[in-house]
Amino acid sequence: MSDIPEELMYTQDHEWLKVDGDTGFVGITDFAQGELGDIVFVELPGVGDSISKGHTFGTVEAVKTVADLYAPVSGEVVGVNEGLAENAEAVNSDAYGDGWMVEVRLADLGELDDLMSAEAYKKMIADGS
């Protein structure tokens, strides 16, 4: 089974969130990048943009497909991983590290209650959901 860090929170759409105070880093899971295959391009919002929980905030383009990215939380984008413009494959090689996508100032901490623990996410992908 793919790597699923215990300290992160997860969505049913295979995004992860790492909370750091009132901000959170967002990316896609190792499972998701494995399903997509070789990632060649990532389209992300700009700093200052707002994203809304459950809504599309960008896309990931792989050799064979394009997938939407869904925001795990609502908030203002305060950082974007500019390195992905030149090195989109970092999402494949280090989904939870260099492959992070955006940093968001959290608008509503209550939204965190809707995210899955690592254990719940493991169960979801094991069940094939």
Asked if 99 contacts 30 with a C-beta cutoff of 8 angstroms, the reply is no
Asked if 16 contacts 96 with a C-beta cutoff of 8 angstroms, the reply is yes
Which fold would CATH assign to domain 10-122?
A: OB fold (Dihydrolipoamide Acetyltransferase, E2P) (2.40.50)
Average per-residue pLDDT in the chain? 96
Single-letter amino acid, residue 112: L
- Report residue 1's pLDDT band, with 50, 70 and 90 as the boundaries: very low
- What is the mean pLDDT of the segment spanning 16-33? 97
- Element housing 77 (H / E): strand 75-80
Asked if 121 contacts 15 with a C-beta cutoff of 8 angstroms, the reply is no
3-state DSSP assignment of residue 83: helix
At 78 the pLDDT is: 98
Is 80 exceeded by the pLDDT of residue 22? yes
Q: What are the extents of the domains in the chain?
A: 10-122
At 2 the pLDDT is: 62
- What is the mean pLDDT of the segment spanning 64-78? 97
pTM beyond 0.75: the answer is: yes
Tokens matching residue 16: 């992860």
At 129 the pLDDT is: 58
Span 38-52, pLDDT tens digits: 999 999 999 999 999
